Structure 1
Amino acid sequence: MTGTLYGLGLGPGDPELLTLKAHRILRSVPVIAYPAAEGSTSLARAIAAPHLPGGQREIAIPILMSGDRAPGRAAYDSAAPVIAEHLAAGRDVAVLCEGDPFFYGSFLYLHARLADRFPTLVVPGVSSVMAAAAASRRPLSARGDVVTVLPATLPDDVLRPAIEAATSLAILKLGRHFSRVKRLLAELGLMDGAIYAERVTQGGERVRPLAETGDEAPYFAMILAYRGTEPAIRGSLA
């Protein structure tokens, strides 16, 4: 018998936002794997740390934060055989994922490499979008509103029509793209009522009106904006 591959959604940062199912699996598996950006500690492991029983084997997957897909592919190409060796030996492996495994999650790349050969279970997690809405105390949508999620890494000629067509909007992965996206939202008349959220549920959380921010933002930041007619959503921070 082979081991089971688990993709565990850990939520946006607060260790208490794990689901009961993720917690149970996390404490029972003999092997854990997690992404770790080069030169920094793993956020996924930090979220899971209070719940780890100790004594588990750990596989750190070094990830280069780059728009170029090649380094990321190489990291998962290298990690997949290591994880496969444990699974083939009958050891379950839990891959720790910030937020949700299939919502811009790194687990989807390991899933593509391993799920056709080993039993696999994906445990969903609280996404940063939901956490940001809760922290801002403003709903994402109501009634017939459609929520549009966009990565800030897209160029303006793609972002602009998508934003113009959106009712309720979340723009993720701000980082070095923040000032450009902020300028675009100002041009489209969406600054009033837009919310900026940074490191939600983590240490250093900041949630404030977008109009009150500067021109710099970390990668783990997002903007929530609304251009529909629901008055309950149009409100700013309480």
Structure 2
Amino acid sequence: MTGTALGAPAVRREGRQKVTGVARYAAEHPQPDRAHAWPVPATVARGRVTAVDTSAARALPGVLTVLTHENAPRIAEPDDPTLAVLRDERVPHRGWFVALVVARSPEEARAAASSVRVEYAVEDHDVTLRADHPEAYEPETANGGHPARREYGDPDGAFATAPVRVDVSYRVPPLHNHPMEPHASTARWEGERLVVHTSSQGGTAVRATLAALFALPEDRVTVHTAHVGGGFGSKGTPRPDVVLAAMAARAT
């Protein structure tokens, strides 16, 4: 057998760049007059936004604009509902982004984000996951387009006739994807061409999604994903940060 990797040295192609500090990640691509954005998360579990007061934030030094569902660039309805940011007043869960502050520096954007005042009409919510939940459903596909339900052979029959049976229920605490590099994106518009640097392991999917959301041919969207500082499953598909970055770039 030839060409085996066992016992053979491997070349880490990006190793020298990383250990010498010259590797650039998604948030480290300087552009002339680059701005920084900071989101404002919802503070209610479910409801809708009834009013947003951005006057105090817009009056602070360095602030360029504050985007809400009322003035953000319009995007098409995405297949992934988590990407439907700043499209309307609804709040599906706590932490949903209801505004985006764009400023000259990240510090100015973060400070201004805390000055945005949002009013809500709170709706009843039920976040207990159970089999008989009235909003529970089984999707046709899951986990990257695979069938949601897959069965092979006769598992019930095999289990019933097995000489040894182990039937155990396990409970695990909530888990959170926490890579060393947070989600980040840098975007710029060159006329009707969009160029982004994003921390993603799915650059092709990011390009297709951005093209659909902003009504662009895919050949007018360029996505760079040179270095990714970890993902643990959270960076395989487009995330809201790349959509918000493109919105902020278009608005400024």
Q: TM-score range by the shorter chain?
A: under 0.3
* TM-score with structure 2 setting the length: 0.25
- Normalized per residue, the structure richer in helix is 1
Of structures 1 and 2, the larger Rg is shown by: 2
* TM-score with structure 1 setting the length: 0.26
Higher RCO (C-alpha 8 Å, min separation 6): 2
